Amino acid sequence: LQVPLTRSFPTEGVNYMLALKEFANFVTLNMANLATTFSRLLAEQSPEYAAISPDSRTATGRKLLNAVVEACQEQTSDPLTSLFKENTHQTPRRWPANITPPNPLTEVECLGQTLTPVVTNLEAGKFLWQALSDTRANMPNRLPLLSKPVVKRTEKSVDAAGSSFSGQNQEISLFG
């Protein structure tokens, strides 16, 4: 008689809190290296971010990482999402006042790329991905989706002699 081996992962309670605390402690202890990694990834992803000084990119990385630590401690994504809200007097800034970040979604992606390889446990991983997803979803300046995507296509025609020549551009609607 064999009993199947199953394991449940609680989403609340002491085990969940310990899992998030372990991850928060890891991020805190490795803050300098993680912030440097974030800065490097940001510069690699975008020439606009590469033009920002490494010190400013690293300082922003620390702010985002500290927000992740705080989010783990509070068990809510609010500390991270609040850094991406419109700048008001109540909202903390990710960047110095003289820097306008070119694409905040790139920052969220680089934060995910920085932290995913070092997630210490499954619960922390699920929490991190939910926090990153919440942050993306709550960004005020996300690009709107087109209601009717259009693809431009150029057709090449062939005449009777087998020579090809460019035809006219056509717009093809993907939806009705």
Asked if 108 and 134 touch (Cβ cutoff 8 Å), the reply is no
98 contact partners, CB below 8 Å, separation of at least 6: none
Q: What is the dihedral of CA 32, 34, 36, 40, to 10 degrees?
A: 180
- Which are the contacts of 72, defined by CB distance < 8 A and separation ≥ 6? 20, 21, 23, 24, 27, 124, 127
pLDDT value at residue 175: 41
pLDDT given at position 65: 98
- pLDDT at position 130 is 96
- pLDDT tens track, the chain, 176 positions: 444 443 333 455 788 899 999 999 999 999 999 999 999 999 999 999 999 999 999 999 999 999 999 999 999 999 999 998 866 565 568 988 888 888 999 999 999 999 999 999 999 999 999 999 999 998 865 544 333 333 344 445 555 555 555 545 444 444 44
Give residue-wise pLDDT tens across range 135-170: 999 886 554 433 333 334 444 555 555 555 554 544
Q: What is the pLDDT of residues 118-131, one digit of tens each?
A: 999 999 999 999 99
Q: Find the largest Cα–Cα distance for the chain.
A: 78
